[in-house]
Amino acid sequence: MYFTILVPKETRANELRVALIPDDAKQLITQGHKVFVEHNAGVGAGFSDQDYQQVGAEIRTVDSNDIASYKKFFKDINLIVRAKRPEHTRETLENKTITAGTIMVGALDPLEKNSSHINEYHQAKITAYSIDQLQLPASDPMNLLAAMSKISGKLALLDAMQKFHSSQNFPPLKKGDKTKAVLIGFGIVGRAALAEALNQQLPTTVILTNEEDAKEIKSKGATPVLLNKNDTLEQQQKLVKSIVADANIVITSARRPNQIAPLLIPITTLQVMQKGSVVVDMALSEGGNVEGSEHDVTHVLGNEVLVTNTSGYPKAMPVESSKSWSRASLHFILQLAANKNNIPLLPL
């Protein structure tokens, strides 16, 4: 099966990545697919329109205020590959003008709370694949989440440190004290955050469910705390509350495949935390571990605790991130083209 592929420009705030770089577009074109790229879609990641044209892609433009322009923009396209969902106004226009039956591939936030975008895809008859939901070994080139999570874990820890030390509510540490970090979850994000916390020489506690991982954490000089996954949510919340009460920085990334993330830090826990502490909710796309967290917003909640989220920390490294993202997009599209019924991910 051959696709006519469109790579739209990302429109979310500060999103400079692109889902398909010229080298990978060239591979698709060589195999018989057609590739169209929105004007300036790759500029933020260092790729010009000319770079795409030199490998055989064609450039398309769209007037963001003209629905007729959108219809022309999506004409003859049967696969859209993007990094993230567009901002709301554009997403609404796209859903009105994308041809029924078009496939959309990207990180599409299928578990996001208080959003109707999946139903809107269904109404528009868009076949959507959220590539970040693939359950694959970390080494698999299609494992987008693994590639982005390595970057995210490190940057989340550094961001939390910066916010904590620049907060007006920052309580001066006593002489000899160090900033205390707690990591909840020990997947790829947690591992990357731990590596950076140890690099920053922070006393660090990791809350996790796997005993073997606990041994690894201890061997690295951090403190593991085992959470019983068979306990009730209330029991888990109680344990977490006892651990984070004196923390300065908390990074949460507790989630399970294709499930809503557990709410491990309710407002009652935020109320007993230290004033000026920072909690970064890295599980928000799956529902969130922290009550009151929102995409790309920092709230002051509970005992003047900063609860924050950045939907795409890898945005800060757009060139490196785009290369990894494009590699995942390329392999996914090739597998989709070779045998659509054998793709290791069901459409949303």
73-13-196-148 Cα dihedral, nearest 10 degrees: -20
Q: Angle at the Cα of 186 (from 289 to 241), degrees rounded to 5? A: 45
Same domain, 235 and 336: no
142 falls within a domain: no
228/210 Cα distance (integer angstroms)? 9
pLDDT tens, position by position, 38-52? 999 999 999 999 999
Residues 94 and 210 in one domain: no
C-alpha distances in Å from residue 57, one per residue of 52, 79, 254, 334 = 5, 14, 40, 17
Residues 23 and 103 in one domain: yes
How many H helices and E strands in the chain? 11, 13
Q: CA torsion sign, 224 to 274 to 254 to 322?
A: negative
What would the two tokens of residue 64 be?
Answer: 């963001």
Are residues 124 and 153 both part of a single domain?
A: no
> In 3-state terms, what secondary structure has residue 297?
coil
**CATH (domain of 162):** 3.40.50.720
Check: CB of residue 3 under 8 Å from CB of residue 335.
no
Domain that holds residue 100: 4-133+317-342
Reported confidence tier of residue 136, pLDDT bands at 50, 70, 90: confident
pLDDT at position 170 over 80: no
Q: Do 154 and 79 fall into the same domain?
A: no
For residue 160, what are the CA distances in angstroms to 15, 165, 183?
Answer: 20, 9, 12
Looking at the fold, whether 68 and 109 belong to one and the same domain comes out as yes
Same domain, 300 and 326: no
Give the Cα separation of 166 and 157 in Å (integer): 14
pLDDT of residue 1: 84
Q: Are residues 95 and 181 in the same domain?
A: no
Please tell me the total count of domains within the chain. 2
Q: CB–CB of 225/239 below 8 Å?
A: yes
Q: Worst-scoring range by mean pLDDT, 154-158, 165-169, 291-295?
A: 165-169
Do the domain assignments include residue 253? yes
**Within a domain: 144:** no
Under the banding of pLDDT at 50, 70 and 90, the label for residue 223 is very high
- Same domain (yes/no): 154, 291: yes
Q: Is 161 part of any domain?
A: yes
Looking at the structure, tell me whether residues 302 and 209 fall in a common domain.
yes
pLDDT digits (tens, 9 = 90+) for 272-300: 999 999 999 999 988 999 999 998 899 99
Identify whether 219 is part of a domain. Answer: yes
Both 90 and 226 in one domain: the answer is: no
If asked whether residues 260 and 335 sit together in one domain, one would say no
Per the structure block, which two tokens stand in for 160?
């939390």
Examine residue 138 and state whether it is found in any structural domain, yes or no.
Answer: no
Residue 214 lies in a domain: yes
Instruction: Tell me whether residue 348 is in a domain.
Output: no
Indicate the average pLDDT of the chain.
92
